[in-house]
Amino acid sequence: MKSLLFGLLTFTLSIVTTSANPKGKDEIAKSPFGKLPDGKTAHLYTLKNASGMTVKLTDYGATTVSIIVPDRDGHYADVAFGYDSASGYVNGKSYFGATVGRYANRIGGGEFRLDGRVYHLPLNDGPNTLHGGTIGFNKVLWKATAAETAEGPSVTFTYVSPDGEDGFPGTVKATVVYTLLNDNGLRITYRATTDKPTVLNLTNHTYFNLSGNPGKTILGEDLMLDADNYTPVDKNLIPTGKIAPVVNTPMDFRRLTKIGARIGEDNGQLRYCRGYDLNWVLNGFTGKVRKAAEVYDPESGRVLDVYTDQPGIQFYTGNFLDGTEIGKGGVHYNHRTALTLEAQLYPDSPNKPQFPSSVLRPGQTYRQETIYKFRVKKN
């Protein structure tokens, strides 16, 4: 029995800690990830595809913990920020890798009106509600089921958010499915229903640093956003309601452009955001999945392509990282050492009738599909 247990443990550990990723077949391993304040145990799921890409997920917050992909020379490195165990996520303030809900991004003034009633939400970002409020989908334990599928290893997370949680109406049943596809895409599909009219906007908040070196800024990486317009914000980072063209502004990423090239320009939006922290209005919104963004790290050759069916994407350059968050392997995560590309509805949509609607009613199903897909450019 003892040797069986030891065997199982070393088997699990060898998968969890490997970074060499010898090519082989799809695998999924589950291991404990630490105790939560309520005594429950969080788990880590390690998914590996046949070509050797590894993704680690935890059921706490339905969160990506690690994304391990090759560079142009075949060297694997972790390109996502996170913590070594569940306690990091319990105490963390930066939403590393998390599933964000019920409302990703900001709701101005922490309130919205729906069907003639005003709902008040907790304020956790100056005068705003950010990323769902004080509980948020990132700070709860989700139920998890792992499965080998024909498309690759997969984990389905479910969470039932009670009526009134964080001030939002309706019991919301949410499902997030991560599938590690064999073409090195991490596909995230979301589904949610409600029993009362409510607002909903889910996203994934993975922080990427394609160099695999979390000590290096992302200012030397190139970005493309397929967006002719963005939603300018006021000084509290709430959209003004206007849709503004990116042309002749530092927000023009229609061609691959170095992230650091214009981030220091004297521009009101960049000043409010302390860098980039805005929602881009993606071209070609029809509800179908299309390519929305590309990030390229010239040094390692790693490329991230983002595909989504969402109308918007928040591009954030880790402006609030200040070295106080200590992540995997004891690394201090510093200013602008990672970026996020959060596919979403526009911020503050519940208060902006001109934006695509975030209202979800009984009988309807919220759906989203976003794929973070990795490849390399030879040079």
Residues that bind ligand GLA (CB under 6 A): 94-95, 105, 130, 277, 314, 316, 320, 340
Count of beta carbons in the 10 Å neighbourhood of residue 1: 5
CB of 314 vs ligand GLA, minimal distance in Å: 5
Are 68 and 83 within 8 A, CB to CB?
Answer: no
For ligand GLA, which is the closer residue by CB, 285 or 320?
320
- The burial of 23, by beta-carbon neighbours within 10 Å (0-12 exposed, 13-18 middle, 19 or more buried), is given as exposed
Cα–Cα distance for residue pair 167/174, rounded to 1 Å: 17
For ligand GLA, which is the closer residue by CB, 104 or 186?
104
Alpha helix (H) ranges present in 128-250? none
Encoded tokens for 302: 């790693």
The sign of the CA dihedral 16, 210, 83, 347 is negative
CB of 246 vs ligand GLA, minimal distance in Å: 18
CB of 75 vs ligand GLA, minimal distance in Å: 29
Q: Which of 62, 44, 43 is closest to 54 using CA atoms? A: 44
Are 138 and 131 within 8 A, CB to CB?
Answer: yes
Q: Phi/psi at 9 (nearest 5 deg)?
A: -65, -50
Cα–Cα distance for residue pair 88/271, rounded to 1 Å: 30
Helices (H) and strands (E) in the chain, counts: 3, 27
For ligand GLA, which is the closer residue by CB, 94 or 198?
94
Alpha helix (H) ranges present in 260-378? 268-273
CB of 205 vs ligand GLA, minimal distance in Å: 6
Known catalytic residue at 335:
no
CB of 347 vs ligand GLA, minimal distance in Å: 7
Are 149 and 143 within 8 A, CB to CB?
Answer: no
For ligand GLA, which is the closer residue by CB, 168 or 346?
346
For ligand GLA, which is the closer residue by CB, 184 or 340?
340
Cα–Cα distance for residue pair 13/163, rounded to 1 Å: 40
Known catalytic residue at 205:
yes
For ligand GLA, which is the closer residue by CB, 67 or 237?
237
Q: Which residue is nearest to ligand GLA (CB)?
A: 316
CB of 206 vs ligand GLA, minimal distance in Å: 11
> Looking up tokens 């521009």, which residue turns up?
267
> Catalytic residue among 205, 221, 294, 325, which?
205
Q: Quick one: CA torsion of 56, 67, 193, 43, rounded to 10 degrees? A: 10
- What residues act catalytically? 205, 342
